[in-house]
Amino acid sequence: MKEKELLCNAPIGVFDSGVGGLTVAREIMRQLPNERIVYFGDTARVPYGNKSKETVTRFSRQIVRFLQMQDVKAIVVACNTASAYALDELEQEVDIPIIGVVKPGAKTAIEATHNGKIGVIATQATIGSGIYKRYIEENDMSVSVVEKACPLFVPLVEEGLWEDPVTDEIARRYLSELIDIDIDTLILGCTHYPLIRSTVGKIMGDKVTLVNPAYETARELKELLEKEDLESDKRPELGTELYRFFVSDAAEKFQKFANSIIPYGILSAKTINIEEF
Ligand code: DGL
């Protein structure tokens, strides 16, 4: 009994290349308030979106090893790029439940579209992998998918330029070709993008539903924990470390950032050398 309790009280590991995965962590905190979280942001090596599959897979493996050393009971790959490039391998390699963000995002978009035209914006890597298009078309042949890589969005978000004329101008250029083709649903296929949701929404107009995969990811995590009988049934007591944050560089900057995204006081973020894992 004690062992089972220990396991259920273990944290969920969540990772991303930087701050983007906080949009997923925030949703997990909202939907699963009893769960502890260990978050890792690979701030020394962000962005992932312009790197090769081999490199992103190597980085993801190191992070998974680090998270497993924190005794996590499940892992959420809160990064579309890592989900696209590394999730299949990671699933084979780890013996705890692990989920990504792409399938939940694709599923939500299929449910949301009325005219069968879905747009996807994401990193070059995610778009190049074709994973969203493949997954959506495999699940609903009547839907057509148009994809657009937006490589400058991640650095703009990491620099905190969420509402800025520069971001506005770049978003207009990227999104103009999606406006012309009458999509009614747009997947924010990078976990950094919900932070510039208002800019994207303003340009796309109210007829386009913006899909943030975080909501469905947290819902699927909940279902998975229930199925595996792994949910924590009580909220940890005050004073215990409910959420812990680790980064590979610039912890202070990350901490400030996290505090502006997460509606709970972040205790602190700690820098670790991820290359050691
Ligand atoms: N936020 C990540 C994603 O969802 C990665 C962005 C990047 O590092 O390029 O793809």
Please spell the DSSP secondary structure of 68-95, one letter per residue: HHTT-SEEEE--HHHHHHHHHHHHHH-S
The 8-class DSSP code of residue 194 comes to G
Residue 79 known to be catalytic: yes
Mean pLDDT, each 10-residue run in order, the chain (277 residues)? 81 96 96 95 96 98 98 98 98 97 97 97 97 95 96 93 96 94 96 96 97 97 96 74 93 92 81 96
The CA dihedral of 34, 36, 42, 43, to the nearest 10 degrees, is 80
Give pTM, 2 decimals.
0.95
Largest CA-CA distance found in the chain, in angstroms, rounded: 59
Q: Which atom of ligand 1 is nearest to the CA of 17?
A: 8
Under a CB-based contact definition with an 8 Å cutoff, are residues 121 and 159 in contact?
no
CA dihedral 49, 216, 147, 87 (to 10 degrees): 40
CA of 16 to the centre of ligand 1 (A): 7
List all residues 6 or more positions away from 194 whose beta carbon is below 8 Å from its beta carbon.
23, 188, 212, 214
Amino acid identity, position 256: K
Is 190 catalytic? The answer is yes
pLDDT at 4: 80
How many CA atoms lie within 13 Å of 112's alpha carbon, on the beta-carbon side?
A: 23
C-alpha of residue 126 to centroid of ligand 1, in Å: 9
Pocket of ligand 1 (CB under 6 A): 16-17, 20, 46-49, 79-81, 123, 126, 154, 190-192
How far apart are the CA of 48 and the centre of ligand 1, in A?
A: 6
Residue 241's pLDDT is 78
Single out the catalytic residue among 19, 131, 190, 214. 190
Cβ-contact 32, 64 below 8 angstroms: no
Segments in the chain forming alpha helices (H): 2-8, 22-31, 53-69, 80-93, 102-112, 124-129, 131-139, 153-158, 165-179, 197-204, 214-227, 251-261
Question: Which ligand 1 atom is the nearest neighbour of the CA of 126?
Answer: 10
CA atoms of 30 and 215, how far apart (whole Å)? 10
Give CA–CA dist 114/183, Å, rounded: 10
pLDDT for 43 equals 96
Tell which residue, 263, 271, 273, has the closest CA to residue 23. Answer: 263
